[in-house]
Amino acid sequence: MFIVEDLAYWNARALIAQSINYYIFYIASVLQSVLAYMASFIYTPTDFVSEVPIFRVLYIHRSAIVVASLMSTQILLTILLVTLINWIKEYL
């Protein structure tokens, strides 16, 4: 009984996902054509960086951004590890 219900549930999910995929691919293709038209005036990555001001700022400060993201990731992973170790100590 439960196996049949489970299979029916997954078949319904697959059917919904299959019907939604058409719309997702259609929207993605429309967005791709719009972005390709907008990017057709940019010939090199340097042109892109020089044309869009926010990307110019990000390009100039890219090393600081990488260092900051690595440090924040390390801090978050350390906090997660300490929390996990404390949780294991409590329940063992």
Which residue type occupies 5? E
pLDDT for the residue numbered 51: 74
Place of tokens 């960086």: 49
2 pLDDT band, cuts 50/70/90, is very low
* pLDDT on residue 71: 94
Question: What's the pLDDT tens digit per position in 17-30?
Answer: 666 677 777 887 88
- Indicate the average pLDDT of the chain: 79
Instruction: Report whether 42 contacts 48 (CB < 8 A).
Output: yes
Domain ranges of the chain: 1-40, 43-92
C-alpha dihedral, 63 to 67 to 69 to 70, nearest 10°: 140
Rounded Cα distance between 88 and 16, Å, is 40
Question: In the 8-state DSSP scheme, what is residue 42?
Answer: -
Lowest mean pLDDT among 11-15, 22-26, 55-59, 76-80: 11-15
* Gap between the terminal Cα atoms of the chain: 38
| Percent of the chain clearing pLDDT 70 (strictly above) | 74
Predicted TM-score (pTM) of this structure: 0.43
